[in-house]
Amino acid sequence: MPFILTENRIAYVQEGQLLAEATFPEFAPGVVNIDHTFVDEALRGQGVAAQMMERIARSLRETGRKAIPTCSYAKKWFGQHPEYADVLR
């Protein structure tokens, strides 16, 4: 799936329509707050949110940043993926 990843947002847009998004604004220097996850009904149940979380976690690891997940989905995902515990603050 062709995601658009920036410093504080990952999105999936198709034909100009936002179908999935997760935001992670900077909370403090080097720390982001994963505060929002959205997946359109048409894509739910296909693992899109999980793909976004993994991309975010890998990006944070690569850039040396840490995360505080406050979005309920992000909290759940990190709880199920201890291999990314190193990116949590």
pLDDT digits (tens, 9 = 90+) for 12-53: 999 999 999 999 999 999 999 999 999 999 999 999 999 999
- Give the orientation angle of helix 72-80 with respect to helix 48-63, to 10 degrees: 80
Token match 């799936």: residue? 1
What pTM was estimated for this model as a whole? 0.93
Report the percentage of the chain scoring pLDDT > 70.
99
Give the list of residues 6+ apart from residue 29 with CB closer than 8 angstroms, or none: none
Q: Which pLDDT value is given to residue 1?
A: 66
Question: Could you tell me the domains of the chain?
Answer: 4-87 (3.40.630.30)
Q: b vs e for 16-29, b when ≥16 Cβ sit within 10 Å of the residue's Cβ? A: eeebbbbbbeebee
